[in-house]
Structure 1
Amino acid sequence: MATTSIQNLNKPKDAFEQLEDEEGTRQGFCHIRIQQRTGRKTITTVQGVAPEYDLKKIVRYLKKTWFVPDEYFQAVEPAHRLAFGYGALTWEWRQGIRSYVYPLFIALYYGVLRLTALDSRAAVVHGPKLLQA
């Protein structure tokens, strides 16, 4: 008896293995596993969802991510520097790799704000978000 339990320890356990009962009919369970990895990284596994549900929408809802899009630093910061004379630039701008065509539109918006003295913090921060929406 002790030998069988030791042999069972060598077999890896699959948490999603028991999706059918003894008669072979599928159980009505949906398994959602969210594993914390290093730092902020997680792995979300969803299995057993009925075909009439949209799996992509379920995973999108369960996925918890936060990011700052690259467009913020690649458009708003250079535009702010063009209009107001100060601001952070990433290496692509310092090396002359990126084009100023797109940030010029936001810089024009900033220029109008500056000339009309409407360059409040809210207008500077939220205006480009509305322009890029």
Structure 2
Amino acid sequence: MTGRFLLLGLGLGLGLVASRSASGEPVEEDGVPAGMVAHVEGGVCPPGWAPAPNVEGRLVVAVAEGKDVGVQVGGPLSDREDRTHTHDYAGEIALPSKSIAAADGSNQAGAQAQTYAIAGTTNPGVSGLPFVQVMACVKQ
């Protein structure tokens, strides 16, 4: 017989236990529990595993509470995407009064002593984080 087998110890004796697929072929037992997610290279999940579409294009983050498992935030990244983002800003700048002798030029639009409000949005920027794309697979 080919493939891996699970060795079960019963008392002092050992026995070989082998599973079989519906077609009668041996199924490799790897000891991994169903529902486990792993990332693999090569773009193909190994036998007994299937693509995990709920994590495709997403950063996977550990949770502190079980109720948060599966919560998705935002849309998934597309192939080789380094998503851009912006930041809104708002504030004030206070310009003090300054006396300038002989300031009788033609510039009538100069800044005056007062508080000016400023607000806007930064230009879009990428994260620049290095990443590698791998296939996410879930154990069946």
User: What TM-score, normalized to structure 2?
Assistant: 0.22
Greater Rg by CA: 2
Q: Please identify which structure carries the higher strand content.
A: 2
Q: Please identify which structure carries the higher helix content.
A: 1
User: What TM-score, normalized to structure 1?
Assistant: 0.23
